[in-house]
């Protein structure tokens, strides 16, 4: 009786069986293979038992273990791709759809990016436009304020002239009226003298003397009344001038609506006056040889130094003056 040994074909053996059969043909134990390939015994046993999905080991590393083992046993490395290592294979159609979705999403993101840039540019442009309009409005208000400041300064002088003129001319009017009445009386007396002259020549001379006396009386009354009026005018003007100027070293009058005024002495850095002053306010300073002034609205201010008015340049800008003025 003959026994026939049938060796199984490698085509019918699994990858794990082929690994085990080749290891036994080389008369190597699992420990020897583990020592030479630096693989764990548990991993070698799992591979020979056709377990290619190892716990806590990534499929890529398992594939590398199989190739290393095949290389050690001198088997074709192509056998490593004949088994599944737990990897999920994505179909090509799904890959194409995914790539198309990425392209669409990228285009949408690009569109949103451009829209955001346009919104930011519009916001910046509106901000600049608002700032420019506000700046122009401020300049117009400043020019209007400067233009209105000049008439405001001249108005009080006009009113003063109107108020003073009646004071000078009022006493003269009764004098003129008195003189006119005296002349009329003299004219009325003249016809009477003519009619009486025909009746009696003796009465002509006294009547003529009366007419001359009446004219002289009218002229004398006019001179007498005009003389006190002129004296009163001079006397009233003199105290007004003295009151306006005074005996102060520095006198500042606010004649317009308002003005910012800063006054500093020559010895101290502290300001003697620094605020916004309104119409009608008067500032006086004494005891300093030099003064430094800053006038916000020169058109609304009058300055007197040592009794003399200081000329101011009215050009709509802030005036900075140092007193006494350089000769």
Q: Structural domain boundaries of the chain?
A: 15-82, 170-241, 250-323
Mean pLDDT of the chain: 72
Name the band, by pLDDT with cuts 50, 70 and 90, for residue 96. Answer: low
Q: With 80 as the cut, is the pLDDT of residue 82 above it?
A: yes
DSSP line for 189-225: HHHHHHHHHHH-GGGHHHHHHHHHHHHHHHHHHHHHH
Q: How many residues does the chain have?
A: 327
Per-residue pLDDT averaged across 154-175, rounded? 44
pLDDT digits (tens, 9 = 90+) for 195-210: 443 433 444 434 344 3
DSSP conformational letter for 257 = S
Assign 3-state DSSP to the chain and report helix, strand, coil percentages, each to 5.
Answer: 60, 15, 25
Predicted confidence at residue 98, as pLDDT, reads 67
Q: With 80 as the cut, is the pLDDT of residue 216 above it?
A: no
Q: With 70 as the cut, is the pLDDT of residue 211 above it?
A: no
List all residues 6 or more positions away from 85 whose beta carbon is below 8 Å from its beta carbon. 52, 53, 59, 60, 62, 63
Name the band, by pLDDT with cuts 50, 70 and 90, for residue 94. Answer: low
Q: Say which range, 55-59, 81-85, 245-249, 303-307, has the weakest mean pLDDT.
A: 245-249
Name the band, by pLDDT with cuts 50, 70 and 90, for residue 3. Answer: very low
Contact 214, 189 (CB under 8 A): yes
According to CATH, the superfamily of the domain at 15-82 is lambda repressor-like DNA-binding domains (1.10.260.40)
Predicted confidence at residue 303, as pLDDT, reads 92
Per-residue pLDDT averaged across 216-230, rounded? 43
Per-residue pLDDT averaged across 63-69, rounded? 90
């Amino acid at each position: 009786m003959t026994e026939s040994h049938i060796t199984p074909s490698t085509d019918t053996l699994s990858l794990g069986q082929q690994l085990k059969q080749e290891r036994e043909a080389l008369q190597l134990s699992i420990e020897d293979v583990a020592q030479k390939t630096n693989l764990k015994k548990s991993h070698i046993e799992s591979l020979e038992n056709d377990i290619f999905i190892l716990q806590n080991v990534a499929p890529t590393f398992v594939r590398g273990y199989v190739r290393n083992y095949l290389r050690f046993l001198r088997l074709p490395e192509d056998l490593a791709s004949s088994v599944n290592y737990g990897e999920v294979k994505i179909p090509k159609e799904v890959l194409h759809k995914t790539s198309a979705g990425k392209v669409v999403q990228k285009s949408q993101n690009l569109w949103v990016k451009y829209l955001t840039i346009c919104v930011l540019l519009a916001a910046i442009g509106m901000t600049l436009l608002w700032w420019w309009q506000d700046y122009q409005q401020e300049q117009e208000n400043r020019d209007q304020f400067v233009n209105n400041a000049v008439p405001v300064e001249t108005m009080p002088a006009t009113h003063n002239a109107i108020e003073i003129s009646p004071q000078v001319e009022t006493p003269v009017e009764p004098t003129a009226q008195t003189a006119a009445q005296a002349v009329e009386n003299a004219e009325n007396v003249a016809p009477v003298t003519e009619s009486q002259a025909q009746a009696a020549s003796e009465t002509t001379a006294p009547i003529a003397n009366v007419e001359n006396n009446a004219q002289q009386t009218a002229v004398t009354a006019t001179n007498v009344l005009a003389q006190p009026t002129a004296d009163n005018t001079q006397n009233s003007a003199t105290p007004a001038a003295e009151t306006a100027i005074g005996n102060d070293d520095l006198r500042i009058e606010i004649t317009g609506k308002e003005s910012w005024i800063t006054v500093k002495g020559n010895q101290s850095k502290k300001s003697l006056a620094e605020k916004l002053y309104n119409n009608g306010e008067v500032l006086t300073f004494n005891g300093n040889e030099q003064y430094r002034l800053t006038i916000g609205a020169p058109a609304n201010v009058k300055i007197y130094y040592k009794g003399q008015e200081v000329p101011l340049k009215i050009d709509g800008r802030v005036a900075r003056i140092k007193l006494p003025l350089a000769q």
